[in-house]
Every structure is written in structure tokens, then in C-alpha cells.
């Protein structure tokens, strides 16, 4: 039975935490190349950033368009602190730098969040957008502090090593990120089970009623915003340490958008959704972008698909599939082959068209040929275009023909799950 | 603190006026509830009942006059300040935390009064007082089997029960109920009145209600509000017999359905 701590406050099972800790401790040993150490660091940083973002979006119903302000300001203060240590004017353990970032995030979110959290909904979103633009513009006006377009660099190997740890290697850095990630995830998870964490859900659901049971909704949102800012700043501080560089894009709207997109892709209604989102973020930025130049287009499509069809995100999809697999999955057997085959064909056809278009536009110098899923395609040959188009159309036709039956069966599955839920645990 | 029990009204309205644009909604209402009293506020649609409720609970600020809770002015204060001073209200249109469980809905209602305020460093699961008080409330409201169900999945009648449960959860001494039985069937209403009577025992109660059966069953006194003015404040029997009231509000329809 899945445990749902957000309902009655009963304690969650401890074993997922044990596994997570073990995985975090072992990962840098198993994947020991410098690339994987970097990827692991990026993953941990993304986890903290996305979870802190979801404190606003999923738990507080606050759609922020400016989360990069708090990760970015955290990163800037961290890199300057590190720089001061490089110059010998400041003495501090390097492992504490992310906390400096956290304080910067806390302070800036405390001040700017006071303005934003006066309002909720659309107005809140607009204020965060305005503040983000403001901060990004101000940052470019003070190149002495923010380094202008060139950014700010520093060296994380500084001062005397503590217990032989000098953070010279990517692996040591990955372990530092891992430690901060574990503690942050634990703290953010615990937050959801505190009075303020629960009242944040209440304010999300119905701010008016929250006011009539003694809570000032603005105050609840403001404190939550500041806490979110703290963890965002920690993520920023870790990033500053890991890359030893902070550029203006760290504060930019694109970065804020990335947090939003991947948190939603991972799923905002589950605590661990943003962790899934963070994994997607690192994988798509590091791997998908290597595979195809059209990765941003695929990302946009995936985002649209999620928002329209899977509001629970990938985490919601995983939880849902698990429940279906534990029970009424045989109901779907007759429609599954049609839907799967149709989906694969249509997806492959569409991707082939996209790849050929991109190839034609951007890679003319490489010649007309490209390899897609092991197939040799040629953007000058009508046959290639026809084949891709045919795959897309046949796939769509298959989906269309299987859809009515699939929807009927899906409704039955939902009904079965709902009935099973009434006497047991349910969401 | 009241120098003598009963000497300071639990809730008092003095010359309360409210004007929206050019329309006078309340034209100077004087009303006083003694501690422990149960009063029903009745009146035709548009008489100003909801406005009076909103003024007393902090949704809006009056144009003139004053609202006093235990002798202290509360008019113009935000809702959470009024709640903290001991007045809690329910809503005519059910107002819950739909995505949260029934248990959490009630527990949220308990938190402030137990002094947890904006605490984010202590786990709810360790707050035995909050959890046991929530269990009691669940039991009282007959919602135990649905403790873990999200509020939005409850039947309408149970949502109404939860609405009252949240209202009384913090132990406020003055309770305002806005049409608690609205939309309920006759059988549900009868049961529900008994429940309200039980859970509000010993507290000061002001309720707006259209169902005359509920009014005469629950109230010690009845205040009749017509076009922003109090027409009468009397015992249920007195109001029933008042020819002015019968003409202005109860009308012919009431005379027919009047119970023996």
C-alpha cells in the first residue's frame, strides 16, 4: 500500500530514505568518470532547485516566473565569497559556501517575496515576472558586482584542506552536492508535515477560509516564499562551487523557465515529482541535446503533452501506472497494442519529419543524408519525406481507431480503482 | 475580561451601518447576544443578513457603527484577527480545503488555537494535542470513516458537516453559522440540527437560516431583519405571534406550514 503522508500525518516508511542515501553515497563511486561526477553534481543541484520551486508551485499554488533570481543571487554571493577567500580576505570552510548562497536566497526572497506574496494567482505570477526582469536588468547595470556578460569566476580549491578534502576533484564536489541534496530533500520533505507546510496547502486550496481559521494567507505565503528562496540559494551556491563560475544567465528568465518546465514535467502534485523533473533536466540538457539539435522542440512538445494530458506529471504517471499494474491492467490488454503501435509509429514519423527539417535548415553542409533510428534518410528524396509522412499518418489513424475503445476501457479502469480506493487508502 | 458573567455581551452591534454605493444595506442595527445565547437571524432575501455576518466576521468594514466581541471593538479588523479574538464563522456556500483530507481540514482548524501559529520546525505527527483534538472532532461530526478522503470527494451533506467541524474546531466562543442546513434534505436537516446543537453547546451562536423549522428548534431568540433594519428581536414564540413580522416576512406561506 502506498503511504500518503500528506493526508493524516502518519509516518512514512523509512526504507526509501535508506535506499536514497545509499544510492547517493555509492553513485560517485560507481560512475567515476569526471563527466558523471559533473552530471551527478548537476542532478543534485537541480533536485534542490526544483523542490524549492515546487514548494511554491505545487504546495503553495504560487506560479513564480522568477525562481532563478533566488538561485542566481545565491550563486553570485557564493562566488564572491569564494573570490574573497581566494584573495585571502576571508576565512571560511569551502563546504559552507552553499549556506552563504542560502542566506542570499533567504534575504532576497524575504524582501522581494514580501511584494509578490501580497497577491496570489495571476497577479502573483506577474509580480514575480516583473521582479525577475528588474533584477536581471539591474545585474547588467552593475558589472563590478555581477561581472557583466563575462560573469564572475573563482577557484573552489582554496585555503587549507579540511581532513584532506580540498574539493579539487569532481568526485569530492559530487559528494558535497550529495550531502547538501540529502539534507535539503529531508528538510523540505519534513516541512510538508509541519503546521506551516500544511497551512500552505490550505492557503493554496482556499485562502479565504484559511483567514477564517486564524491564519494570515499573505504571511503564510511570505514565509514559505522565503524558505523556498533559502533552498534555491543553496542550490545556487552549490552551482557556483561546482562550476567555479556564475554568469548573467544564472539570473535570467530562461533559467526560471527551465525550473518551471521541469518541475511540471516531473509532477507538482507529488513531493518527489520535482526529483524526477530534475533527472529529466540533467538528462535532456546533457544527453538529449547531444542526440538531436531539435531537443528544445521535443521538450516543448513533452511539456504541452504533460500539461494537457498528464497533470500529475511523470511522477503522477508512474504512481498511476503502478496502481493500474497492481489491479485492473488486464482491462487494457485489447486496446494496448493498437495505442502503443500507433503512438510509436506517429512519434517516429513526426520525429523523422522534424529531424529532416532541422537537417535541411541547419546542416546543409553535412550533405542531404542523415541516419534516423538506423534508417538512411535523404532530405532531397521525396521517398524519405513520404515514408516519414506515411508513418505519421498511419500511426495517427491507428490511434484514432483505437481511441474510443481505449477511452471506454480507461474509464472502467478508473472506476475499478475508485471502488478499490473507497475502503482502503486513497488520495 | 467581563467583571460579572453576563454583564458584557458576547457579541454586540451598535448602530451598525453599511452602504454600498448609493444603497443602504444596513441602516443602523443594534443587536446584542449574551454569552451562551443562541440567536437566529431571519429576513427576506436582500434584507442584509449576509452583510451583517460579513461585518461581524471581518470580510468587510462597516460604513458606520461598531461591532464588539466580549466588549472589544473588532469592526474593520481582518478575519484572522477576529478569529484569534474568539469568533468563528461558517459559510453558506461550502468553503473547505478541497484537495486536503478531511482529517487535515479539521486539524488546520485546530492549529492556531493550540498556539502552533506559523511553526515550521515541528512535525504535525508529534503534536499529540492537535491530533487527539482532531480525532474528537472527527468523531463528533460523524466523519471518522472518511478521515483520509479528500474533502472534495465527500457527499454534500458530509461537506456541510465538515464545514461546521472546521468552524468549531478552534474552540471559538462565538460561532456564526450562515445557513448551515442550506441544500440539505428534510431528514438530513433534522439530524444536522441535533448535531449543531450538540457541538455548539455552551457557546454563543448566531445563525442565518431560511428553514423556519431549524430556527424555532435551535434559537433562544429570533432577530428579524427587513430592509436593513431590525423589525423585532424576541423569543421564537413572540416572533411567531408578532403581526408585523408575519406581514413583513413570514407571510401567508408560513401560516400554512406552521407546525402545531
Distance to chain B for A139, nearest Cα, Å: 33
Domain range for B129 is 37-47+78-219+229-254
Has residue B3 got a pLDDT over 60?
A: no
Query: What is Dmax (Cα atoms) for chain B?
Result: 61
Cell of B7: 454583564
Q: Which residue of A has its CA nearest to B176?
A: A212
Residue B155 lies in a domain: yes
Q: Using beta carbons and an 8 Å cutoff, which residues of A are at the interface with B? A: 4, 6-11, 190-191, 193-199, 201-202, 204-206, 208-216, 219-220, 223, 227, 425-427
Residue B119 within any structural domain of the chain: yes
3-state secondary structure of B67: strand
8 Å CB contact between B214 and B208:
no
Tell me, what's the pLDDT at B79? Answer: 97
Q: Which pLDDT score is estimated for A217?
A: 97
Closest C-alpha among A72, A193, A82 to residue A136: A72
> Is residue B129 assigned to a domain?
yes
In B, which residues are within 8 Å of A8 by CB distance? 101, 103-104, 147-148
**Considering only alpha carbons, which residue of chain B is nearest residue A206?**
B97
Nearest residue, CB atoms, A205 vs list B57, B97, B103: B97
Strand B23-33 to B174-178 pairing:
unpaired
**Cell output for B32:** 446584542
Are A223 and B122 a contacting pair at CB < 8 A? no
Q: Give contacts of A6 with chain B, Cβ < 8 Å.
A: 100-101, 104
- For chains A and B, CB pairs below 8 A equal 127
Nearest CA-CA partner of A221 in A208, A203, A209, A198:
A203
In this structure, what CATH number is given to the domain that contains residue B94?
A: 3.40.50.300
H/E stretch holding A275: helix A273-283
Strand order in the sheet with B11-20: B23-33, B11-20, B64-69, B72-73
Identify the CA nearest to A197 among candidates B85, B138, B133, B107. B107
Among A407-416, B89-98, B123-132, B151-160, whose mean pLDDT is lowest? A407-416
pLDDT of the residue at B251:
58
CATH entry, A5-319, from 2.60.40, 1.10.3470, 2.60.120, 1.20.1060: 1.10.3470
* Residue B66 counted as domain residue: no
**Taking the CB of residue A264, how many other CB atoms lie within 10 A of it?**
25
Per-residue pLDDT of chain A (427 residues; tens, 9 = 90+): 333 334 444 455 677 778 888 887 888 777 778 888 899 999 999 999 999 999 999 999 999 999 999 999 999 999 999 999 999 999 999 999 999 999 999 999 999 999 999 999 999 999 999 999 999 999 999 999 999 889 999 999 887 787 878 888 888 999 999 999 999 999 999 999 999 999 999 999 999 999 999 999 999 999 999 999 999 999 999 999 999 999 999 999 999 999 999 999 999 999 999 999 999 999 999 888 888 888 999 999 999 999 998 989 999 999 888 888 888 888 888 888 889 999 999 999 999 999 888 888 876 677 778 888 888 888 888 888 999 999 999 999 999 999 899 889 988 888 888 877 654 443 3
Specify the number of domains making up chain B.
1
Amino acid at each position: 500500500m502506498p503511504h500518503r503522508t500528506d493526508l493524516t500525518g502518519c509516518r512514512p516508511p523509512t526504507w526509501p530514505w535508506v535506499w536514497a542515501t545509499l544510492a547517493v553515497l555509492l553513485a560517485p563511486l560507481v560512475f567515476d568518470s569526471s563527466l558523471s561526477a559533473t552530471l551527478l553534481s548537476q542532478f543534485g543541484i537541480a533536485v534542490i532547485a526544483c523542490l524549492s520551486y515546487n514548494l511554491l508551485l505545487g504546495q503553495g499554488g504560487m506560479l513564480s516566473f522568477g525562481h532563478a533570481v533566488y538561485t542566481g543571487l545565491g550563486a553570485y554571493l557564493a562566488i564572491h565569497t569564494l573570490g574573497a577567500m581566494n584573495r585571502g580576505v576571508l576565512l571560511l570552510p569551502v563546504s559552507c559556501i552553499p549556506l552563504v548562497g542560502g542566506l542570499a536566497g533567504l534575504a532576497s526572497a524575504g524582501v522581494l517575496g514580501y511584494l509578490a506574496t501580497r497577491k496570489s494567482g495571476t497577479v502573483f505570477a506577474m509580480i514575480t515576472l516583473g521582479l525577475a526582469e528588474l533584477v536581471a536588468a539591474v545585474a547588467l547595470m552593475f558589472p563590478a558586482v555581477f561581472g557583466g556578460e563575462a560573469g564572475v569566476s573563482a577557484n573552489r580549491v582554496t585555503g587549507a584542506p579540511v581532513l584532506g578534502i580540498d574539493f579539487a576533484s569532481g568526485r569530492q564536489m559530487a559528494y558535497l552536492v550529495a550531502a547538501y541534496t540529502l539534507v535539503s530533500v529531508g528538510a523540505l520533505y519534513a516541512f510538508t508535515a509541519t503546521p506551516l507546510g500544511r497551512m500552505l496547502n490550505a492557503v493554496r486550496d482556499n485562502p479565504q477560509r484559511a483567514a477564517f481559521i486564524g491564519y494570515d494567507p499573505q504571511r503564510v505565503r511570505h514565509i514559505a516564499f522565503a524558505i523556498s528562496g533559502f533552498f534555491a540559494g543553496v542550490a545556487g551556491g552549490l552551482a557556483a562551487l561546482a562550476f567555479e563560475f556564475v554568469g548573467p544567465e544564472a539570473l535570467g528568465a530562461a533559467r526560471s523557465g527551465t525550473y518551471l518546465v521541469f518541475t511540471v514535467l516531473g509532477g507538482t502534485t507529488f513531493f518527489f515529482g520535482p526529483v524526477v523533473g530534475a533527472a529529466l533536466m540533467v538528462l535532456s540538457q546533457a544527453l538529449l541535446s547531444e542526440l538531436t539539435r531539435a531537443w528544445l522542440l521535443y521538450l516543448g512538445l513533452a511539456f504541452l503533452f504533460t500539461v494537457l494530458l498528464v497533470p500529475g506529471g511523470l511522477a503522477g504517471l508512474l504512481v498511476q501506472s503502478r496502481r493500474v499494474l497492481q489491479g485492473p491492467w488486464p482491462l487494457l490488454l485489447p486496446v494496448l497494442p493498437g495505442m502503443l503501435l500507433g503512438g510509436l509509429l506517429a512519434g517516429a514519423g513526426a520525429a523523422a519529419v522534424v529531424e529532416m527539417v532541422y537537417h535541411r535548415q541547419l546542416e546543409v553542409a553535412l550533405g542531404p543524408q542523415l541516419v534516423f533510428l538506423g534508417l538512411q534518410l535523404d532530405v532531397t528524396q521525396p521517398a524519405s519525406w513520404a515514408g516519414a509522412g506515411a508513418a505519421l499518418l498511419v500511426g495517427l489513424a491507428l490511434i484514432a481507431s483505437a481511441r474510443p475503445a481505449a477511452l471506454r476501457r480507461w474509464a472502467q479502469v478508473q472506476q475499478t480503482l475508485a471502488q478499490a480506493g473507497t475502503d482502503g487508502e486513497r488520495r | 475580561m467581563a467583571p460579572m458573567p453576563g454583564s458584557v455581551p458576547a457579541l454586540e452591534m451598535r448602530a451598525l451601518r453599511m452602504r454600498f454605493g448609493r444603497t443602504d444595506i444596513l441602516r443602523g442595527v443594534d443587536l446584542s447576544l449574551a454569552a451562551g445565547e443562541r440567536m437566529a437571524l431571519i429576513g427576506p432575501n436582500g434584507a442584509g443578513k449576509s452583510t451583517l455576518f460579513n461585518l461581524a466576521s471581518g470580510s468587510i468594514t462597516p460604513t458606520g457603527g461598531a461591532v464588539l466581541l466580549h466588549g472589544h471593538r473588532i469592526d474593520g479588523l481582518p478575519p484572522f484577527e477576529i478569529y484569534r479574538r474568539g469568533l468563528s464563522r461558517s459559510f453558506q456556500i461550502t468553503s473547505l480545503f478541497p484537495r486536503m483530507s478531511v482529517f487535515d481540514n479539521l486539524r488546520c482548524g485546530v492549529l492556531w488555537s493550540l498556539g502552533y501559529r506559523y511553526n515550521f520546525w515541528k512535525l504535525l505527527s508529534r503534536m499529540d494535542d492537535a491530533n487527539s483534538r482532531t480525532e474528537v472532532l472527527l468523531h463528533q461530526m460523524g466523519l471518522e470513516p472518511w478521515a483520509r478522503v479528500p474533502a472534495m470527494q465527500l457527499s454534500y451533506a458530509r461537506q456541510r458537516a465538515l464545514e461546521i467541524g472546521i468552524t468549531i474546531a478552534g474552540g471559538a466562543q462565538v460561532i456564526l453559522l450562515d445557513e448551515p442546513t442550506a441544500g440539505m434534505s428534510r431528514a438530513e436537516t433534522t439530524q444536522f440540527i441535533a448535531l449543531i446543537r450538540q457541538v455548539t453547546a455552551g457557546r454563543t451562536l448566531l445563525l442565518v437560516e431560511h428553514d423556519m423549522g431549524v430556527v424555532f428548534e435551535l434559537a433562544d431568540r429570533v432577530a428579524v431583519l427587513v430592509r436593513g433594519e431590525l423589525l423585532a428581536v424576541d423569543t421564537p414564540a413572540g416572533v411567531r405571534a408578532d403581526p408585523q413580522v408575519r406581514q413583513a416576512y413570514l407571510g401567508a406561506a408560513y401560516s400554512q406550514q406552521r407546525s402545531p
